[in-house]
Amino acid sequence: MLETAGGFVRDAAKDRLQTTLPALKQIQITEADFGRKHHGSFQLYKTGIEAVGKCVDSYVKACEDFGNNLGSASKKYTANEASSSDSITKSGKR
């Protein structure tokens, strides 16, 4: 169950943002698109969009790392449970 949750956490953000993230990284709007009166606002807009792109990228990577950690924890937990079960079984046979 923990491993399944880890897989979901690992993949959900990446899957849902697979088209959004590249679009944020490759801004198609130019200063000219803002119109002459608003050229001064373009750089702030571009900087803001780039910052959002970095945040989204960090979020996706953090989800992948956390999901992988959950999967690793699940495997360790399962191994510990098996070891404990084996120890209990052996002690009951004495």
pTM for this prediction? 0.68
Q: Give the model confidence (pLDDT) of 80-94 as tens digits.
A: 777 777 777 777 776
C-alpha–C-alpha distance, residues 38 and 31, integer Å: 8
User: What's the average model confidence in pLDDT over 39-63?
Assistant: 90
Q: Give the model confidence (pLDDT) of 13-45 as tens digits.
A: 888 888 888 888 888 888 888 888 888 888 898
